[in-house]
Each structure stands twice: as structure tokens, then as C-alpha cells.
């Protein structure tokens, strides 16, 4: 009997990876993915706790699911609702109490146990809660994926974080830093390469802190892992995210200089340009350290494009501190960036700091910062017009004979191209910068025919 499984994913790419693994775990038990919650036998909300808004979304979604669950019950059928991810981890028992609709609460380290939890529920054993941090048997327990992921795939190589930035919930929801072994990662990479994957993005909350055991029994850094994976012929492109400025090793910077499969794009969050704020955030580096690091990376790979995350309105942030962030942005120059208003998170040190910043001040600063970042992104996009780049076509476009893919700089590029180029790399001349994408033309007419 096939059952319908609907998964809704919030938050970061690691959650996207986990959602795909949850589908893999449930598949042998007859569950196949559908793209609508209505009528589903099981709904999984894979949640994010990073900012207040992200966490609130879960409760509004549960509100919407109530009706669907009741309709199903009216037909004498059951809709199981599971909450997974970082809200599940953070709230645990509290969620079971607060949301009677929820049947299962499962943390990010134990979702491989979902089939058991579902079986218990069907035996009428009541609602289930599991938010343990077992000694990483998750990856050993996960089955290899059976469904072809498409031309690109995520691969989690590292989980958790020991940095304890004072604003951040991740060390609490994802636990201590852990790296998978090189052998296990390589096996998964080869497996998805056999399924047609051409581009792999290596994931970790702190991916460049990677230190998994290599085939020689020694811990390997991310640079070395990247070089190893680059030897897989079918894999044409490698990326990794998210990196911490303190963990950019020489070996990793060197990989940017010498490994052509490693894409010239780096997400390197700095959060603030003020040393006072960076210290209060416990980031462990100054603005100057960061700028020097960027110089070293650019020396290794001059055409690298940078992206970052910024927080405005961290407790105690003055106009001067904010100006220092603006100055750092002007200095570095970003191709792309994410920026957020500081959101106090329960259980983190900054949430109880005395000098919280008023919301209207946060709004003003965010608007100014986003305006600057937008202009930098436009400048970067405009500078790409006229250049030829490799584009990996990932899906069909909005119009007939149009395909959409990504440039090395992660820009979405659409171009008129024959269907057979789907899942393949092609040379494309970028002809126009749109607001969030680039228009291109196949550079090699022979390929177009
Ligand atoms: N591991 C990554 C970040 C993971 S969270 C790193 O170290 O950079 C993704 C981004 O969310 C962070 O970079 C930060 O900019 C933002 N963020 C995290 N906690 C936040 C909070 N409490 N309020 C606002 N933004 C936050
Ligand atoms: Fe959070 Fe800091 Fe760890 Fe990134 S490095 S996940 S911001 S604690
Ligand atoms: Fe959110 Fe958890 Fe990722 S809090 S950003 S889903 S690690």
C-alpha cells in the first residue's frame, strides 16, 4: 500500500538535505512524496529556529493543517503530523503540550528513527518525542537515496557548532561539532554521481571546521576532502557552505587556487564590521582580520565572488558600530548577501543583554544596509554582462525552449537551449542582468542545433 508523505522544509540547506533523507527513510515503508498537504497520510514540518519569525511560521502552518487533519479524520483516515528540525529540538516536550495536533516531535539527529515512531503510533502507543543526541549513528542508519536528485545535490559533511556566537541557537539545536568520515562522504558522493549529479554542495553549519577521519586514519581538512571528491569524474562542480572566517585554513584557500572544479564563490559570513560588536557576538575575529582573510582568498582566486550574512541591531549596536559595518561592506564588495534584524532567541546570552535596540532603529539600519548590498549586487551582475560562463542547466524555464541553470557564481541564468542540455554544462554568454537572474545565449551555436 502506498501512503502519501508531504514534507515542508524551512531554514537552511542542511534542513533541505535532511528532508530528502527523511523521504529516503520513509520510502521503504510505502511512503511516497506528494506536493500538497491535503489528503496526505503523513505531514512532516522540518523546522527552523534561527529567528523568531522562522519559529512562528511552524505554529501558523499547524493552524492551517488542523482543517486538513480533521477532513481526513471525517473520512475515517488518519493524518500523522510530525515536527522535525530545530524547533522540534528546541521545544521538545513543550511542543507536545502546546500543539495537541502534533503526533511526533523528532530532533535533527534522530529522524532515522521515524519509521519506529510511526509504527508505535499505529499500535496506539500515544504521541512520540525523540530529541536525543546519540553518538552520531544517524548517518550509518540512513539508506542510500533511490531517487535521482537531479543535476545538483547537497551532501552534509559536518554538523553542529562549537562556536557559540552569543546570538545563535545552532549550538543548542544541532549540538556539538561532528564530521563524517571521508570514506562515508566519498561513498555518498559516488552514489549520487551515478544517479546523474554533476554539482555537489558540501554542507555543514560550520563546514570549513570539517575534520573527518581520512583513509589514512588521520583527520582531514575540508581542502583535502574537496580535492579527493574532485577526482570523481562525473562531478564537474563543487561548492561548500557555510564557512566561519576563523576556520579558513591555508589548505582550503589553496584549493581555491588549484582545484578548477571548486567554484569561485564563497559564502563567508561576517555579521558586523564593528570590533566591539564582533567581540560581544563572540565571533573571535576583528573586522581587520576578516579583510586580511578576504585579501588572501582573492590572491588565491582573483575572480572569486563573495557573499555574507549581516545582523543589524545587535544589543548595544551604536550608529558608529553600524557605520563600521557599512564601511566594511564598501571595502570588501559583495556579489550577494543576506541581512537580518537581530532577533532575540530564548536561551542565548545576547537575548538577555540589557541594551536591546528598538525595532524602528533596526528597520532603518536594515534598509540602509540592504540598499548598499543591492547596489553592490547590481554592480556585480552588470560586470558579468558580456562574459561567457559555464552554466549547468537544472530545469525548464517559464517559456518554451528555455532552460534555467546556474553560473559558477550561483547566479540563475536562463537561455534558449534544447531540452537535451538539461542536466549538462554549456558555454553561455550573459547578455542582460535582470533583477534576480541573468539572461544568456548559448555561446556555441553548434551545441544549440
Ligand atoms: N553557521 C553560519 C550561520 C548559520 S545561521 C555562520 O557561522 O555564519 C545563518 C545566519 O542567520 C547567520 O549567519 C546570522 O546572520 C543569522 N542569524 C543567526 N542568529 C540570528 C539571530 N538571533 N537574529 C538574527 N539573525 C540571526
Ligand atoms: Fe551560529 Fe556562530 Fe555557530 Fe554560525 S558559528 S552556527 S552563527 S554559533
Ligand atoms: Fe534554522 Fe536549524 Fe538551519 S535553526 S538555519 S534549520 S540549523
Domains of the chain, by residue range, sit at 3-130, 147-263, 388-448
Specify whether the CB–CB gap between 416 and 442 falls below 8 A. yes
C-beta of 15 in contact with ligand 1 (< 6 A): no
For residues 58 and 99, what is the distance between their CA atoms, to the nearest angstrom? 10
d(CA 265, CA 417): 25
**Each residue's pLDDT tens digit, 166-216:** 999 999 999 999 999 999 999 999 999 999 999 999 999 999 999 999 999
pLDDT in tens, 21-74: 999 999 999 999 999 998 899 999 999 999 999 888 999 999 999 999 999 999
CATH class assigned to 147-263 = alpha beta
Which residue has better confidence, 247 or 444?
A: 247
Instruction: List the one residue out of 95, 23, 17 whose CA is nearest residue 55.
Output: 95
What sign has the CA pseudo-torsion 385, 390, 394, 397?
A: positive
Q: What confidence score (pLDDT) does residue 122 get?
A: 87
Pocket test for ligand 1, best of 50, 159, 329 (most atoms within 8 A of CB): 50
Q: Does 170 sit in the ligand 3 pocket, CB within 6 Å?
A: yes
Tell whether ligand 3 has an atom less than 6 A from the beta carbon of residue 208: no
Grid coordinates representing 20 are: 530528502
282 CA closest ligand 2 atom index: 2
Grid cell digits, residue 443: 555561446
In angstroms, the CA 255 to CA 165 distance is 27
Q: Residue 235 C-alpha to ligand 2 middle, in angstroms?
A: 29
pLDDT per position as a tens digit, 289-321: 999 999 999 999 999 999 999 999 999 999 999
Q: Which residue has the cell 559570513?
A: 269
- pLDDT tens-digit series, residues 254-285: 999 999 999 999 999 999 999 999 999 999 99
96: cell is 507536545
For residue 444, what pLDDT is reported?
80
Residue 237 beta carbon below 6 angstroms from any ligand 3 atom: no
Give the pLDDT of residue 133: 85
Torsion angles phi and psi, residue 182, rounded to 5: -60, -40
Report whether pLDDT(248) > 90: yes
- Tell me if the pTM is above 0.85: yes
Q: What is the mean pLDDT of residues 148-167?
A: 95
Q: Is residue 251 within a helix (H) or strand (E), and if so which, with residue range?
A: helix 250-258
Question: 2-36: buried (b, 16+ CB within 10 Å) or exposed (e) per residue?
Answer: eebbbbbbbbbebbbbbbbbbbbbbbeeebebbee
Tens digit of each residue's pLDDT (9 = 90 or more) over 350-398 = 999 999 999 999 999 999 999 999 999 999 999 999 999 999 999 999 9
Closest approach atom of ligand 3 to CA 205: 7
Of the pLDDT bands very low, low, confident and very high (cuts 50, 70, 90), residue 127 is: confident
Which three-class secondary structure state does DSSP give residue 362? helix
Q: How far, in Å, is the centroid of ligand 2 from the Cα of 285?
A: 13
143-155: average pLDDT: 90
Q: CA–CA separation, 178 vs 157, rounded Å?
A: 9
Grid coordinates belonging to 139: 548517518
As given in the structure block, the three cell numbers for residue 323 are: 557605520
The verdict on the CB of residue 270 being under 6 Å from ligand 2 is no
Which pLDDT score is estimated for 137? 78
Specify the pLDDT at position 448: 59
**Nearest by Cα to 37 from 1, 11, 70, 84:** 70
Q: Which atom of ligand 3 is nearest to the CA of 108?
A: 2
Confidence of residue 136 (pLDDT cuts 50, 70, 90): low
53 and 340 Cβ atoms separated by less than 8 Å: no
104: left (phi over 0), alpha (psi -120 to 50) or beta: beta
Whole-angstrom distance, CA of residue 103 vs CA of residue 101: 6
Give the end-to-end CA distance of the chain in Å, rounded to a whole number.
Answer: 46
User: Does ligand 2 have an atom closer than 6 angstroms to the CB of 329?
Assistant: no
Multiple choice CATH, 3-130, 1.10.3720.10, 3.40.50.360, 3.40.50.12160, 3.40.50.720:
3.40.50.12160
**Higher per-residue pLDDT: 168 or 99:** 168
Q: Is pLDDT above 80 for 449?
A: no
Ligand 3 binding pocket includes 174 (Cβ within 6 Å): yes
pLDDT given for residue 135 in this prediction:
65
Q: Is 168 in the pocket of ligand 3 (CB under 6 A)?
A: no
HEC string of 11-76 equals CCHHHHHHHHHHHHHHHHHCEEECCCCCCCCEEEEEECCCCHHHHHHHHHHHHHHHHHHHHHHHCC
Q: Write out pLDDT tens, residues 218-227.
A: 999 999 999 9
Residue of the nearest CA to atom 2 in ligand 2?
A: 165
Closest CA to 81 of 64, 284, 90, 334: 64
Q: Are strands 42-47 and 80-84 parallel, antiparallel or unpaired?
A: parallel
Ligand nearest to the CA of 88: 3
Mutate to test the pocket of ligand 1, among 49, 90, 160, 168 (most ligand atoms within 8 A of CB): 168
Q: What contacts 192, CB < 8 A, 6 or more positions away?
A: 145, 149, 153, 155, 200
Question: What distance in Å separates the CA atoms of residue 438 and residue 266, rounded to the nearest whole number?
Answer: 19
Which architecture, in CATH terms, is 388-448? Beta Barrel (2.40)
Amino acid at each position: 500500500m502506498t501512503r502519501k508523505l508531504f514534507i515542508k522544509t524551512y531554514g537552511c540547506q542542511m534542513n533541505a538535505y535532511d528532508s530528502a533523507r527523511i523521504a529516503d527513510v520513509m520510502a521503504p515503508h510505502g511512503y511516497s512524496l506528494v506536493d500538497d498537504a491535503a489528503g496526505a497520510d503523513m505531514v512532516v514540518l522540518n523546522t527552523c529556529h534561527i529567528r523568531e519569525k522562522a519559529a512562528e511560521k511552524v505554529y501558523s502552518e499547524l493552524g492551517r493543517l488542523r482543517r486538513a487533519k480533521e477532513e481526513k479524520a471525517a473520512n475515517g483516515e488518519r493524518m500523522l503530523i510530525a515536527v522535525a528540525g530545530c524547533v522540534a529540538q528546541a521545544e521538545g516536550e513543550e511542543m507536545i503540550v502546546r500543539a495537541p495536533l502534533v503526533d511526533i516531535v523528532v530532533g535533527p539527529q534522530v529522524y532515522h528513527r521515524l519509521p519506529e515512531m510511526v509504527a508505535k503510533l499505529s499500535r496506539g502507543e500515544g504521541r512520540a518525542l525523540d530529541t536525543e543526541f546519540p553518538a552520531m549513528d544517524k548517518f550509518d542508519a540512513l539508506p542510500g537515496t533511490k531517487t535521482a536528485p537531479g543535476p545538483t545535490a547537497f551532501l552534509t559533511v559536518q554538523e553542529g557548532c562549537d562556536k557559540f556566537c552569543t546570538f545563535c541557537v545552532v549550538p543548542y539545536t544541532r549540538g556539538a561539532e561532528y564530521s563524517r568520515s571521508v570514506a562515508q562522504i566519498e561513498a555518498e558522493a559516488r552514489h549520487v554521481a551515478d544517479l546523474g549529479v554533476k554539482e555537489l554542495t558540501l554542507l555543514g553549519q560550520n563546514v570549513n571546521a570539517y575534520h573527518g577521519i581520512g583513509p589514512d586514519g588521520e583527520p582531514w581538512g575540508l581542502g583535502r576532502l574537496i580535492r579527493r571528491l574532485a577526482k570523481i569524474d562525473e562531478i564537474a562542480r563543487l561548492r561548500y557552505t557555510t564557512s566561519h572566517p576563523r576556520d579558513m585554513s591555508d589548505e582550503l584557500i589553496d584549493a581555491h587556487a588549484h582545484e578548477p572544479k571548486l567554484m569561485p564563490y564563497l559564502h563567508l559570513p561576517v555579521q558586523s564590521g564593528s570590533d566591539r560588536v564582533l567581540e560581544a557576538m563572540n565571533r573571535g575575529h576583528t573586522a581587520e582580520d576578516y579583510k586580511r582573510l578576504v585579501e588572501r582568498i582573492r590572491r588565491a582566486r582573483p575572480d572569486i565572488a563573495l557573499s555574507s550574512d549581516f545582523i543589524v541591531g545587535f544589543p548595544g549596536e551604536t550608529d558608529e558600530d553600524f557605520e563600521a559595518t557599512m564601511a566594511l561592506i564598501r571595502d570588501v564588495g559583495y556579489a550577494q548577501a543576506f541581512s537580518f534584524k537581530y532577533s532575540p532567541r530564548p536561551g542565548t546570552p545576547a537575548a538577555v543583554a540589557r541594551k536591546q535596540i528598538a525595532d524602528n532603529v533596526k528597520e532603518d539600519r536594515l534598509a540602509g544596509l540592504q540598499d548598499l548590498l543591492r547596489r553592490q549586487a547590481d554592480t556585480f551582475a552588470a560586470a558579468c554582462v558580456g562574459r561567457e560562463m559555464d552554466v549547468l542547466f537544472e530545469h525548464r524555464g517559464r517559456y518554451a525552449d528555455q532552460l534555467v541553470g546556474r553560473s559558477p557564481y550561483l547566479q540563475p541564468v536562463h537561455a534558449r537551449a534544447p531540452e537535451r542540455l538539461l542536466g549538462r554544462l554549456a558555454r553561455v554568454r550573459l547578455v542582460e542582468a535582470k533583477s534576480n537572474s541573468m539572461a544568456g545565449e548559448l555561446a556555441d551555436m553548434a551545441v544549440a542545433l
